[in-house]
Amino acid sequence: MYYIVETDKPFDQASTDLELAVKRHGFGVLHVHDLAGTLRSKGVAFDEQCRIFEVCNPAQAAKVLSVDMRLNMALPCRISVFTEKGRTKIGLIKPVEMLSALSRDEALVQVAKEVEEKTMQMVDEAK
Protein backbone atom coordinates (compact mmCIF):
# COMPACT_ATOMS: atom_id res chain seq x y z
CA MET A 1 0.00 0.00 0.00
CA TYR A 2 2.98 2.31 0.56
CA TYR A 3 5.67 3.36 -1.87
CA ILE A 4 8.72 4.54 0.07
CA VAL A 5 12.27 5.07 -1.11
CA GLU A 6 15.35 5.92 0.90
CA THR A 7 17.75 8.56 -0.31
CA ASP A 8 21.26 9.62 0.61
CA LYS A 9 20.22 13.25 0.19
CA PRO A 10 19.78 15.48 3.21
CA PHE A 11 16.16 16.14 4.22
CA ASP A 12 16.06 19.71 2.85
CA GLN A 13 17.59 18.73 -0.50
CA ALA A 14 15.14 15.84 -0.92
CA SER A 15 12.27 18.24 -0.15
CA THR A 16 13.49 20.74 -2.76
CA ASP A 17 14.02 18.02 -5.35
CA LEU A 18 10.55 16.59 -4.74
CA GLU A 19 8.93 19.98 -5.26
CA LEU A 20 10.79 20.38 -8.57
CA ALA A 21 9.79 16.88 -9.71
CA VAL A 22 6.13 17.57 -8.87
CA LYS A 23 6.16 20.63 -11.11
CA ARG A 24 7.97 18.83 -13.95
CA HIS A 25 5.14 16.28 -14.06
CA GLY A 26 2.39 18.86 -14.43
CA PHE A 27 1.20 18.74 -10.85
CA GLY A 28 1.11 21.65 -8.44
CA VAL A 29 2.10 21.86 -4.81
CA LEU A 30 -0.97 23.19 -3.00
CA HIS A 31 0.57 23.25 0.45
CA VAL A 32 3.48 21.89 2.45
CA HIS A 33 2.81 20.84 6.03
CA ASP A 34 5.80 20.88 8.36
CA LEU A 35 4.40 18.18 10.62
CA ALA A 36 7.52 17.87 12.75
CA GLY A 37 7.70 21.63 13.28
CA THR A 38 4.04 21.77 14.21
CA LEU A 39 4.46 19.01 16.78
CA ARG A 40 7.47 20.73 18.32
CA SER A 41 5.64 24.09 18.39
CA LYS A 42 2.95 22.39 20.48
CA GLY A 43 5.50 21.23 23.03
CA VAL A 44 5.77 17.65 21.78
CA ALA A 45 9.27 16.20 21.84
CA PHE A 46 9.83 14.93 18.30
CA ASP A 47 13.29 14.27 16.87
CA GLU A 48 12.45 13.36 13.26
CA GLN A 49 11.66 15.62 10.30
CA CYS A 50 8.47 15.37 8.23
CA ARG A 51 7.12 17.53 5.42
CA ILE A 52 3.87 16.54 3.76
CA PHE A 53 3.42 17.89 0.25
CA GLU A 54 -0.18 18.18 -0.94
CA VAL A 55 0.02 17.77 -4.71
CA CYS A 56 -2.68 17.95 -7.34
CA ASN A 57 -3.24 17.68 -11.05
CA PRO A 58 -6.49 19.60 -11.60
CA ALA A 59 -7.58 17.57 -14.65
CA GLN A 60 -7.15 14.27 -12.80
CA ALA A 61 -8.88 15.61 -9.69
CA ALA A 62 -11.84 16.75 -11.78
CA LYS A 63 -12.15 13.27 -13.32
CA VAL A 64 -12.30 11.70 -9.86
CA LEU A 65 -14.80 14.20 -8.50
CA SER A 66 -17.07 13.94 -11.55
CA VAL A 67 -17.47 10.22 -10.83
CA ASP A 68 -17.84 10.42 -7.04
CA MET A 69 -17.84 13.73 -5.21
CA ARG A 70 -17.32 11.96 -1.86
CA LEU A 71 -13.75 11.25 -2.93
CA ASN A 72 -12.88 14.89 -2.29
CA MET A 73 -11.97 13.59 1.14
CA ALA A 74 -9.15 11.55 -0.41
CA LEU A 75 -7.75 14.51 -2.35
CA PRO A 76 -5.24 16.00 -2.87
CA CYS A 77 -2.51 13.40 -3.09
CA ARG A 78 0.13 13.55 -0.41
CA ILE A 79 3.82 12.81 -0.77
CA SER A 80 5.98 12.94 2.34
CA VAL A 81 9.65 13.59 2.88
CA PHE A 82 10.64 12.36 6.30
CA THR A 83 13.47 11.06 8.41
CA GLU A 84 13.48 7.79 10.26
CA LYS A 85 16.41 6.95 12.51
CA GLY A 86 18.58 9.48 10.70
CA ARG A 87 17.73 8.28 7.17
CA THR A 88 15.82 10.46 4.70
CA LYS A 89 12.86 8.82 2.99
CA ILE A 90 10.25 9.90 0.45
CA GLY A 91 6.93 8.12 0.20
CA LEU A 92 3.24 8.03 -0.52
CA ILE A 93 0.17 5.87 -0.13
CA LYS A 94 -0.48 4.30 -3.53
CA PRO A 95 -3.54 5.90 -5.14
CA VAL A 96 -4.80 2.68 -6.76
CA GLU A 97 -5.04 0.81 -3.48
CA MET A 98 -6.51 3.79 -1.64
CA LEU A 99 -9.18 4.61 -4.23
CA SER A 100 -9.97 0.92 -4.78
CA ALA A 101 -10.82 0.72 -1.08
CA LEU A 102 -13.23 3.63 -1.51
CA SER A 103 -14.81 2.85 -4.89
CA ARG A 104 -15.12 -0.03 -7.35
CA ASP A 105 -15.64 2.28 -10.35
CA GLU A 106 -13.31 1.21 -13.17
CA ALA A 107 -12.94 4.80 -14.44
CA LEU A 108 -11.58 5.81 -11.05
CA VAL A 109 -9.14 2.94 -11.00
CA GLN A 110 -7.79 4.09 -14.37
CA VAL A 111 -7.31 7.67 -13.13
CA ALA A 112 -5.66 6.32 -9.98
CA LYS A 113 -3.25 4.24 -12.10
CA GLU A 114 -2.23 7.31 -14.07
CA VAL A 115 -1.73 9.38 -10.91
CA GLU A 116 0.13 6.56 -9.17
CA GLU A 117 2.54 6.20 -12.06
CA LYS A 118 3.28 9.94 -12.07
CA THR A 119 3.62 10.31 -8.30
CA MET A 120 5.95 7.32 -8.07
CA GLN A 121 8.07 8.85 -10.85
CA MET A 122 8.22 12.09 -8.83
CA VAL A 123 9.45 10.20 -5.79
CA ASP A 124 12.03 8.31 -7.83
CA GLU A 125 13.31 11.54 -9.43
CA ALA A 126 13.61 13.25 -6.04
CA LYS A 127 15.56 10.30 -4.66
pLDDT in tens, 50-68: 999 999 999 999 999 999 9
Give 24's Cβ-side CA count (13 Å radius).
14
Task: Give CA–CA dist 76/32, Å, rounded.
Answer: 12
Output the pTM of the full model: 0.94
> Which amino acid, residue 115?
V
Domain extent listing, the chain:
2-126
The CATH-assigned architecture of domain 2-126 is: 2-Layer Sandwich (3.30)
- Model pLDDT for residues 95-123, shown as the tens digit of each residue: 999 988 998 888 899 999 999 999 999 99
